[in-house]
Each structure stands twice: as C-alpha cells, then as structure tokens.
Amino acid sequence: MSALSRLFGAKSLAVIGGGAWGAALIRQARAMGFAGPIWPVHPHRSELGGEAAVARIADLPGAPDAAFVAVNRHATVEAVRALSAMGAGDAVCFASGFSEAGAEDAAGADLQAALVAAAGEMPLLGPNCYGFVNALDRVAVWPDQHGMQPVARGVAILTQSSNIAINLTMQRRALPIAMTVACGNQAVLGQADLAMALLDDPRITAIGLHVEGFGDLRAWEALAARARVRGVPLVALKVGRSEQAQAAAVSHTASLAGGDAGAGALLARLGILRADDLPVFVELLKLMHLRGRLGTPRIASISCSGGEASLVADMALQRRLALPALAPAQHDDLRAVLGPMVALANPLDYHTYIWRDADAMARAWAAMTRDDLGMTLSVVDYPHTDPQDWTFATRAALQVVALTGRAFGVVASMPELMPPDVAQELMAGGVVPFCGLAEALDAIRIASQPMPEPAAPLWLAPAPKGVHLLDEARAKAALAATGVDVPALCVADDVAAAQAWAVGRDGPFAVKGMGAAHKSEAGLVRLNVAHADLGGVISDLGPPVLIEEMITGGLAELLIGVVRDPAHGFVLTLAAGGVQTEILQDSVSLLLPASDASVSAALDGLRIAPLLRGYRGQPPADRAAILRTVRALSTYLHDHAGQIDEIEINPLICTPARAVAADALIRKGDP
C-alpha cells in the first residue's frame, strides 16, 4: 500500500500526550485487536491506558510505525519534528488551530507551515483529525467511538470531517467498511493522495470520499486514472459552495457556473460517481462493493402488492429509470410459476399465491432478471413484530443470485424495515440489501451513469492581475480572430459615421450603447433599426455606439461562456441564452478542455435541446457551427489562459446555417 503502508499497517504505535484522549485511543486500538506494542509518551504519568509511559519522545524504545500526537498546536510542531528525526513512520496530528482556523487566526497558517517543515519526509495525517481505523489489519489510531468491525474486504471511506466519519461507521445497513480515514486539513497528505495509497490493496472494493474541497487537481486526475486502471469505483459526497458563486456580478456565466457547478463537472469528468446525501452515499457504496457500475438505467421490479408496484413505477419515472416490457420467454417462465391469475408486467405484482414458498418465489424472481437490466429489485418490508416470518423472502433472493449471477436487490420501502441481520445475510450472499426505496432508486440511477472516456489534463493557470472588461467590439474582434462567427459591425462616434457604414447594407440593424456589460438591462439596445431611424436612435443612446447587422432565421439562442474557477479550473457553461438565461436556468457545465462529443452531449442535455434538433417542422440548428464556436472560444482561452478571467457569448444565435455571436464580453488581465 505504497509509502503509507507503514501507517495503515502499523506494527507499533506511540501516543504523544493526550491524557483522556490518549487513553481512549489505546482502548480503541486494543478493542480493534491491535496486538503490537503501544508506547505512551507523557511528562507527568508513568502509565496511560494500561500501558507503561515514558517522559519524552527521545525515551521511546524505537521509532514507531505510527504516532498519535495529541498535544497543543505549538507542542505538536516540536513533537512532529522529533518523530521525523528519529525515523517514525507516520504521524496523526489531533490538535486543531492550524490553517483551518481561517483568516481570523494568522498564527494558524504560520504554524501549519512550521508543521509541514517539521514533518520533512515523514507522512503526516491531519492536523485537526481523528486518524484512521483499518478493519482489515485490525489497526486503529482513533481516539473515540466507532462502529467498525474486522472484515476481510470492503470499502474505504475518507472524509474531511471526523464527526461524519464516526457517523458513517455507525451505519447499520450492512456496508462492509474496511478502512475509515479522517483527513483533517491535509497539511501534507491530501485526500486524493490518501485514496491513491489504498488503490493497490485488492481487499478494497470501492472508495467513498466526503469532500469539502479538492485542492490539488492534478492529484485528483491521477487518482481517477489509477482507479480506472485498477477497476475500483470512486464515490463522492461533495459539500460546500465554490467561491465562484460570489463573483456573479458581471456575467450570466459566472452566476450559472457558481455554486458547485465546477465541482459537479470535475467529478463527472473524472468518472467519480456523486451522491447528494449520506444515505444515498452508503447505498451507492454497497452497490459498488457488490456490483460496480450497472451500465444501464433499465430495471425490473417485483412486489406482492399493486400499491408497491405503482410506487416503484412512479418513482422510477421521476429518476429516468426505465422499466422495459417483459420478453416472451419471461411470460412463459412467469406463467409456469404464477398461474393464470396474475397479470404479467414490469413492475410485477405477483400477489400472494406463492408467498412463503421460497423455491417458487425464487423461480418467479429469477424470471424477472435479464442480462440487459442494470438491476432487478424485490420490494420486501420486514415487520418488526416477527421478522423471522419473512425468512423465506431472504432465501428466495439468495437463490436468485445463486441461480442467475445477475444484479439483484431486496429493497425495504422504508429504511427501518430492513433489519441489520437480514441485510448482513443478503450482503454475504451477493444480494444488495437496499434500505429505503428512494435511496435505492437514487443509487441505481447514479450507478447507471456510463464511465466517461479518459479526458485530457485540465487547463490550469494562475489568476491574472489587474482584471478589466473589454468592450463588446474588442471582445468580438478577439474571438473572431480565432474563428468565432460575429456579425458585421462598426463602432461609430457620431451619426454620420454610422450612416456611412450602413450605406449598401440591407438592414435592419442592431444599435447598442457602449460601456455596460448588461446592455439590455441598462436600456442600451435597440433592435430592428431601419436606415431612416439610425440618427434618432444614436442620438437617444448617445455616441459612441456599436452598430451591426441583425441576424435573422434564429432557431434558438445559446449562452456559451467560460469562467475561471479557482477550485476546479476553467468551467465551460452551455445554457439557454438571450432573455431566457435567468428565466429558464437551463445550463450544463463542463471543464476545459472538452471534446466535441462531450460538448454535443451537453447540448443534448439542455431543456431547449429540441429547438436545436428541429422542433415541430423547423429545421435543425447547425450543430457543426455551434461546435466550431466552442472550439474557437476554447482556442482563444488556451492561447491566453494566464490572462483570462471570464469569456461570454450571449446570445449565440443558432440558425440552420450559422452560429453567430450577437454579444460577447471578455474579462482579462496581466499574467
């Protein structure tokens, strides 16, 4: 397990300070079955947690594989320095008050820098973290309660919150947790680095990541690439909001790309499945542990109640899960088991004719499975009054997997109706024990997402200085130079110049006042202006003005923009454009560079996609022209990455033969 094997597989453990916390850690280590020596270090005690203590780190009998440092933040730096000097394997730093304290505590950042320097070449977990529990090798460096039990294989969970880590270990949903790691503020070891260290252990079946922020994006790219090669699924619960959401004052793009749009785009690009809450996170990890990605959103559902069948059908529809019709062979097999009284369909209500006949139930349930389905579900709610009365349902599910080898789950419509012991039995037999119908269907929906093709490295560049806004004419000229189609235009300082430019042109024209990013909101746009009206419009707006040809034949309007997101790279946003941008809030975000295929798929994901494809007899928009526009904008960004803060085309008027940038802005500065 790479350079961190000495930590996660520690054979000796030092506990530096800690008092009650140190004693608790020793108890937890022994309770997990840690058999190696534990050496407490305490200046005033000869014993801690039942183990003989020494007064100083220098008095330790040897260099420990792992050390839990539980002294104040100032003393932590010196303790880490001493451990590194003596050749200790790794250190877990419990103290808080380092860089996570924020701007209100400048000393914390200085201490963090000192801590990193003190660690030198020694890996360091934290600070401000509880440590880890390795249930595979029975190693616990953890000063509090946890719910883990020794396992032979299972998932790893890495969190940026020790408390969430504790709560996840307390789950009673039969998820086998092989490793839990609290990452703290990641002064030395980032979350991606820690996950990378676990990928080569064949006992780790999947890795769950509770993420507050990504940090080193190159490390995440490397993790995703290695996980793809190893075939280990990655699941993320991403929380928090990007600072980009605070920078939405200038463009629509910034607003649409704010929040966690960049985070979602990053996870999708890297092939990391994303859960939205803790219950779905756990259910998805169970699914990854047993089956991995499902490959298709097609499912089948079985229940002995028409009400449950209808509920599944409605909830599946909401999640865009398909319930395909039964094949003729399935009709024959089901009729042979269920007789003539049952209406055969998917979802299947098999009534109660075969209830309590485990063999018959297994034959019927097996008949509902198919190779082209992602998952077959049997809805079974185990009663609290006498759950043993439902053991035949458990036996039937286990028989289905033994007979077919296909993905099969038993789902309790409410989480509390799946007893933990039943869930464990199902899990051991290869049946996914889903706790909650909503959670199950959400997990299946997420697991059915295809693995994306490997992507090129992200474009990253330091933020520019002295950022300023180019006016529309200069922005269009810059983009036109890389291939963006823009209208014929002129910047006129007076009426005479505008009229001279308009001679020989058909009109009508668009006339825009200069100096505002949002011209429509400022009342600085006049459309469909005839030759004869140019003078009055220009006088009304006040020169200088931008005058340009009107683009006709538009089928749809798009917004295409790029925002520099300090947390995720350059976020490309595709959205309904023009006056519809705020109204529809219809957008998709990608990270650059983006392939034509990914851009085209994103366009198809918009609600206005039917307009682009041709709606009610209208011709389709020129998809190739739209893709050329995105490529040209991307080329401009790539060539000026160190200068660009933001680019927006809104609207891009899409016609059957062109895609024309009717408005554009660029915010740029010095590299």
CB 650 within 8 A of CB 663: yes
pLDDT band at 70 (very low <50, low <70, confident <90, very high): very high
pLDDT band at 104 (very low <50, low <70, confident <90, very high): low
**460 inside domain:** no
Long-range contacts of 333-336 (CB under 8 A, 24+ apart): 333/363, 333/367, 334/364, 334/367, 334/368
DSSP symbols for 519-581: TTTTT-EEEEE-GGGHHHHHHHH-SSEEEEEPP---SEEEEEEEEEETTTEEEEEEEE-TTHH
Q: Which of 499, 525, 549 is the last residue of a domain?
A: 549
pLDDT at residue 277 greater than cutoff 90: yes
Distance CA 366, CA 330 (A): 9
Strand 569-576, strand 587-591: pairing = antiparallel
Residues 536 and 430 grouped into a single domain:
no
Predicted local confidence at residue 248, as pLDDT: 40
119 DSSP 8-state letter = H
Kindly report the three-state secondary structure assignment for every residue of 371-429.
Answer: CCCCEEEEECCCCCCCHHHHHHHHHHHHHHHHHHCCCEEEEECCHHHCCHHHHHHHHHC
Domain that holds residue 319: 294-447
pLDDT at residue 498 greater than cutoff 80: yes
pLDDT band at 422 (very low <50, low <70, confident <90, very high): very high
3-class DSSP assignment, residue 236: strand
Helices 391-404 and 420-428: crossing angle in degrees, nearest 10, is 20
Residues 65 and 6 grouped into a single domain:
yes
Question: What is the arithmetic mean of pLDDT over 207-215?
Answer: 92
CATH classification of the domain holding 71: 3.40.50.720
Question: In whole angstroms, how far apart are CA 494 and each of 313, 497, 520, 534, 553?
Answer: 65, 6, 21, 10, 30
Domain count of the fold of the chain: 4
CATH classification of the domain holding 516: 3.30.1490.20
**15 inside domain:** yes
CATH classification of the domain holding 385: 3.40.50.261
Strand 177-182, strand 132-134: pairing = antiparallel
pLDDT at residue 1 greater than cutoff 50: no
More confident position, 29 or 215: 29
Secondary structure of the chain: what % helix, strand, coil (to 5)? 40, 25, 40
Q: Which of 517, 532, 549 is the last residue of a domain?
A: 549
Radius of gyration of the chain (CA): 31
pLDDT band at 529 (very low <50, low <70, confident <90, very high): confident
Residues 341 and 302 grouped into a single domain:
yes
And the tokens for 444?
């299946």
Helices 217-230 and 261-270: crossing angle in degrees, nearest 10, is 30
pLDDT at residue 275 greater than cutoff 50: yes
Residues 379 and 507 grouped into a single domain:
no
Residues 343 and 367 grouped into a single domain:
yes
The separation between the first and the last C-alpha atoms of the chain, rounded to the nearest angstrom, is 40
